[in-house]
Amino acid sequence: MRTELAARCIEITEERGRGNTIELRLEFPCTQANVRRALASIMSGLGAMDLSEDDSSTVELVLAEVLNNVTEHAYRDAGLGLIRLHLKQTDDGLSCRVIDNGDAMPRNTPPRGYPPNPNGPLETYPEGGFGWFLIRKLTSDLAYLRDADRNILSFRIQIGQTVQTN
């Protein structure tokens, strides 16, 4: 099934794989507004996976963080450039691949995502740096490849497991 969404700039393809698993492919120009639209399309497209509310919010959060990073950093908020996203249901989660043609990650390595520090005085409370911490906390098998002028980030979001706080 191929659906042209109201946004028109987002193309989403839904496929049913072996065992009736869900597979989604999206391609869209990266703007913050499109990231919002893409997330709405994805969450609706994953509806048949019957995710719990907890899993559903984890998937939406991880994808939001990854897509926002591409928009803000790889494409420097210029609103130009495409994001391609491939999501595939697996036995224990959702396998994800995100491809863009923006800037490479610094030192060709995804940030470590150190745990935020809630201690210390008010002035030192962190206002950023949460994104990669959350991505790493909520995903497994994260891999990044700079291939010519492309960034290829792949990871798995585990589903049906409770994430423990540090």
Partner 1 sequence: MQLDTAHYDGLMVVSVLEDRMDAAIALDFKDAMRDLTSDAPARVVLDMATVRFLDSSGLGAVIGAMKQLGHQRRLELAGLNPSVEKVFRLTRMDSIFTIHANIDAALGGVATIDAAPRGQAHAY
Question: Shortest approach of partner 1 to residue 2 CB, angstroms?
Answer: 27
CB of 99 to partner 1, least distance (A): 20
Using CA atoms, how far residue 101 sits from 39, 106, 136, 145, 157, in Å, is: 20, 15, 22, 12, 23
Write the CB contacts of 34 (distance below 8 Å, at least 6 apart in sequence).
7, 9, 10, 28
Question: Smallest gap, in angstroms, from Cβ of residue 87 to partner 1?
Answer: 18
- What is the Cα–Cα distance from 60 to 26, expressed in whole angstroms? 15
Nearer to partner 1 (CB atom), residue 93 or residue 131: 131
Phi-psi region of 77 (alpha: psi -120 to 50; beta: other; left: phi over 0): left
For partner 1, the closer CB: 12 or 35:
35
> Residues in the site for partner 1, rule: CB under 8 A?
32-33, 35-36, 53-54, 57-58, 60-61, 64-65, 68, 71-72, 115-116, 118, 122-123, 125-128, 130-131, 133-134, 137-138, 163, 165-166
> With respect to partner 1, which residue has the nearer C-beta, 130 or 144?
130
Give 51 or 87: the residue with its C-beta nearer to partner 1: 51
Can you read off the two tokens belonging to residue 47? 């509806």
Question: CB 13 → partner 1: shortest distance, Å?
Answer: 24
Is 68:94 a contact under the CB 8 Å cutoff?
no
